[in-house]
Structure 1
Amino acid sequence: MAATRVITAASATTRASSPNELSAIYNPQVKVKEEGQPETLDYRVFFLDGSGKKVSPWHDIPLTLGDGVYNFIVEIPKESKAKMEVATDEDFTPIKQDTKKGKLRYYPYNINWNYGLLPQTWEDPSQANAEVEGAFGDNDPVDVVEIGETQRKIGEVLKIKPLAALAMIDEGELDWKIVAISLDDPKAHLVNDVDDVEKHFPGTLTAIRDWFRDYKIPDGKPANRFGLGDKPANKEYALKIIHETNESWAKLVKRSVDAGDLSLF
């Protein structure tokens, strides 16, 4: 039986106690409709607008809200291991559990952060990145690793600020990881760039890199690699990546580039 739950992104007011702190953003309600049972092949999480109409979390939720605030859609809650992802090749791009050879996929161990995507971004597989070993995009939206303390729910839409970027290379494909924090996290006002993450979340950037480097090893695959000297890039660089991949997404939905099997609605 399908279940509908209402997810309200953090909309409480936040105090601007410093010039770098972000002000509050109004967040409308987003409804998600679950079809099927979790951890089954048929399970889907659809997104509904205010009228109950299905919309695409990838294409219809705006990327930015201004003032350095971005929308982030949770696919995998922290401390879980079911490999959930937006189904980029299905109508309305619902969230589903990834499969391989007809079997549901799981990480070998829990992911320690909330993980998901930036809407209205796309890593173009026809574009080589000269700054990252000439690697081509992985044909997916840009991934986000949200480092806040709260375990979120599948389909939750959070308002975040980006802090850093890791250039993961997965079997030759570039798969950016934007490190960010939700605006409603108690430490959000303390972190505004990569150095702040090291100060207030010591060891977290290294842990993120190591987790994504090694998670395929238990399945007998080689470790992933990282470009940019194996180090996280700063916020300015992360924002550049977000801007570039948003431009790539715009070309995709305008059909200026070949969409292949990707759903554009």
Structure 2
Amino acid sequence: MFVSPLLTWFDLHERPLAWRESGTSAWGVLLSEVMSQQTPVARVETVWREWMARWPDPATFAQAAPDEVLRAWGKLGYPRRALRLLECARQIVSLHDGRVPDDVDTLLALPGIGDYTARAVACFAYGKNVPVVDTNVRRVHRRAVEGRYLSGAASKSELVAVAELLPKDGRGPRFSAALMELGALVCTATSPACTECPLRAGCAWVAAGSPPPGADELAKKKVQKFIGTDRQVRGLIMDVLRGSDVAVPQAAIDVVWPDGTQRSRALYSLLEDGLAEQDDRGYFHLPR
């Protein structure tokens, strides 16, 4: 019911993302998926192109130093992803001869690769017809099939439910990409453009009168703050460390945030996460 209208829509509205270009390697797909986690695509493309030019495969990336990787990661956010990606590349080289694995279970065994990323690489890089379920896909499925708003944490049962929608005639990987695109562009969280949706005729949520979220669903919705959080302070400290080729004294960090307790907590968490190191003099620098 959904396959043909969705694929027809996707043919017309697919965004020309860098990693969708013909010839993109499995490494390029893996890199794009890791970079895009909790980060807008618009911020990812430029950095992705820079990384692919600099480190076109796992073997070249595996030779990079952690501080080099963190500087190249820049302001994409959640920089632990960059270090996990370095671990991942080194394991791909040591265990898989530098080739990104093509099956879900082997991908899941790599550092920093979870359910979503493993299936995305298997699907989009190798054409495996496996369910790829991110928040966009969960939201489309919840509305179109179940007729209600998305709420609650992701579950394994959703993989089974989405798998039931996949066509078995070779179009599965493209259908998976189209589902994600629909959730990103049309079936959005707060202002779905139902009049533009190719699934409107069979959508259970539209058939139910497009009911608003219930009180319990609204209560569970939390706006993720950034300003004033430890995450912001961590980012400011990382800016200082990335911007210096040498270790910096405590004074260089103290100026970035007025709250000494929060600043110390953020700095300690960076040291604990392996994103910063302290030398014998008490100076701080990126890991090497």
The answer to whether TM tops 0.5 is: no
Q: TM-score, with normalisation over the residues of structure 2?
A: 0.27
TM value normalised by structure 1: 0.28
Q: Which structure: greater strand fraction?
A: 1
